[in-house]
């Protein structure tokens, strides 16, 4: 049993995601882990699978030195530089955990973005009684040997398995095994076995595809689209002007000759976005969750509302794929502040800034916004659920 675990004290578990390879077999272009897969990068899908698991406390992403620019927005992940071989990269990831070692560690290939919670659960459960555990699938096809392009014989498939990841181990044991290991190894199971550690096989999953060649992207996309629940919500809000010196818009204080009137801080952009997320969840609007009749919300910062909507989405298993906020006004001018608004919303929601769009338009001096009586805002938000099961 891991040293920190016991009744009422579950083991501390970390995940090491190995993403330092170049993936040349997928053809010209960026390494496969940074290529798009159903609107997101392969690495993003993989990381989210481990973020969504309640038992995993820390994630280490081992990357190539040339890929630092790809790490923007990964604020909840410890990133470390890998080595020239997979074994060296894994050793680097394990070393990054040494200052506060976990009890268990799961080592996973970034190129397996469809790993499920069930597979992760099976590996963790097996580590209760074993020093190592890994998912695998029994070989069911006939196996041939070949010579000069011709079948030269058959191979008995009894006892043969197709290895998958994550491969899980007691942290101290696998780190020592890597420190003692010399020479190449097919995976961490081979490193462990050379160190004398037994490894238990648990059931793998056919959907746990490893992206190796171009055709694997099509397979992974088919699986992802079949498992994803995609929801889109629309939000709209309006606030009138009153005497003041600034407006709070999408979390940014914008100097102006007036301010917006409202029960809270009247952040019309954030209100529209909050309602868009509630709408995608079929959870009504801000008024349902924060009634204006309740005086505790008088003057409240709108980030409280937006954070609640995002937390509610995550509690239901959804992540924000992207959102778009449009502010409709003649003045103040939004363009100079749009970048700061994008960053503020991203920080509140815990997502990368490139998932947030903020822009503005006028109503060509028509209607109440054209007469500069107030500001309107529209927002659309897309939520995705799929890899947590």
pLDDT in tens, 250-288: 999 999 999 999 888 999 999 999 999 999 999 999 999
pLDDT > 90 in the chain, percent: 81
Contacts of 257 (CB under 8 A, 6+ apart): 245
pLDDT at 5 over 90: no
pLDDT in tens, 80-114: 999 999 999 999 999 999 999 999 999 999 999 99
Q: Label each residue of the chain as H, E or C.
A: CCCCCECCECCCEEEEEEECCCCHHHCCCCCHHHCEECCEEHHHHHHHHHHCCCCEEEEEEEECHHHHHHHCCCCCCEEEECCCCHHHHHHHHHHCCCCCCCCEEEEEECCCCCCCHHHHHHHHHHCCCCCEEEEEEECCCCEEEEECCEEEEEECCCCCEEECCCEEEEHHHHHHHHHHCCCCCCCHHHHHHHCCCCEEEEECCCCCCCCCCHHHHHHHHHHHHHHCEEEEEEEEEEEEEEECCEEEECCEEEECCEEECCCCCCCHHHHHHHHHHHHHCCCCCHHHHCCCCCHHHCCCCCHHHHHHHHHHHHHCCCEEEEEEEEEECCCCCCHHHHHHHHHHHHHHHCCCHHHEEEEEECCCCCHHHHCCCEEEEEEEEEEEECCCC
Residues 379, 347: Cα–Cα separation, whole Å: 17
What average pLDDT is seen over the chain? 93
CA torsion angle 272 277 279 280 (round to 10): 140
Choosing among 3.90.550.10, 3.50.50.60, 2.102.10.10, 3.40.1190.10, the CATH entry for 13-227 is 3.90.550.10
In the chain, domain spans: 13-227, 229-385
pLDDT at 3 over 70: no
pLDDT in tens, 176-193: 999 999 989 999 999 999
pLDDT at 308 over 70: yes
pLDDT in tens, 189-246: 999 999 999 999 999 999 999 999 889 998 898 888 777 788 999 999 999 999 999 9
- pLDDT confidence tier of residue 295, bands split at 50, 70 and 90: confident
Residues 8, 170: Cα–Cα separation, whole Å: 19
Q: Which of 108, 110, 63 is nearest to 82 (CA)?
A: 63
> What is 229-385's CATH topology?
60s Ribosomal Protein L30; Chain: A; (3.30.1330)
């Amino acid at each position: 049993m891991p040293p920190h675990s016991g009744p009422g004290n579950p083991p501390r578990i970390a995940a090491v995601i190995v993403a330092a390879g170049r993936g040349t077999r997928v053809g010209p272009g960026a390494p496969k882990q940074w290529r798009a897969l159903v609107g997101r990068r392969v690495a993003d899908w993989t990381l989210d699978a481990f973020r969504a698991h309640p038992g995993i406390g820390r994630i280490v992403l081992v990357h190539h030195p040339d890929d630092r620019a790809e790490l923007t927005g990964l604020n909840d992940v410890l990133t470390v530089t890998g080595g020239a071989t997979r074994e060296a990269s894994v050793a680097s990831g394990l070393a990054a955990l040494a200052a506060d070692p976990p009890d268990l560690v799961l080592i996973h290939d970034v190129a397996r973005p469809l790993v499920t919670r069930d597979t992760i659960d099976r590996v963790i459960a097996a580590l209760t009684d074993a020093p190592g555990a890994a998912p695998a699938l029994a070989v069911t096809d006939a196996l041939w040997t070949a010579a000069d392009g011709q079948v030269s014989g058959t191979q008995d498939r009894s006892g043969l398995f197709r290895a998958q990841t994550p491969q899980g181990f007691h942290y101290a044991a696998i780190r020592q095994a890597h420190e003692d290991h010399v020479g190449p190894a097919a995976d961490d199971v081979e490193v462990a076995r050379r160190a004398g550690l037994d490894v238990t096989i648990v059931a793998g999953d056919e959907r746990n595809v490893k992206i190796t060649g171009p055709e694997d992207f099509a397979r992974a996309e088919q699986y992802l689209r079949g498992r994803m629940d995609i929801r889109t919500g629309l939000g709209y809000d309006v606030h009138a002007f009153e005497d003041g010196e600034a407006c709070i818009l999408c979390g940014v204080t914008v100097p102006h000759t007036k301010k917006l009137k409202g029960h809270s801080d009247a952040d019309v952009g954030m209100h529209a976005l909050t309602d868009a997320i509630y709408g995608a969840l079929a959870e009504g609007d801000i008024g349902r969750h924060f009634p204006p009749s309740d005086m505790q919300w008088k003057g409240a910062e709108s980030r409280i509302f937006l954070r609640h909507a995002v937390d509610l989405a995550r509690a239901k298993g959804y992540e924000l794929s992207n959102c778009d906020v449009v502010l409709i006004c003649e003045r103040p001018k939004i363009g100079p502040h749009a970048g700061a608004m994008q960053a503020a919303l991203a920080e509140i929601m815990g997502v990368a800034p490139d998932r947030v769009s903020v822009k503005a338009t006028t109503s060509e001096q028509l209607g109440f916004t054209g007469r500069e009586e107030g500001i309107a805002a529209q927002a659309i938000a897309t939520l995705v659920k799929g890899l947590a099961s």
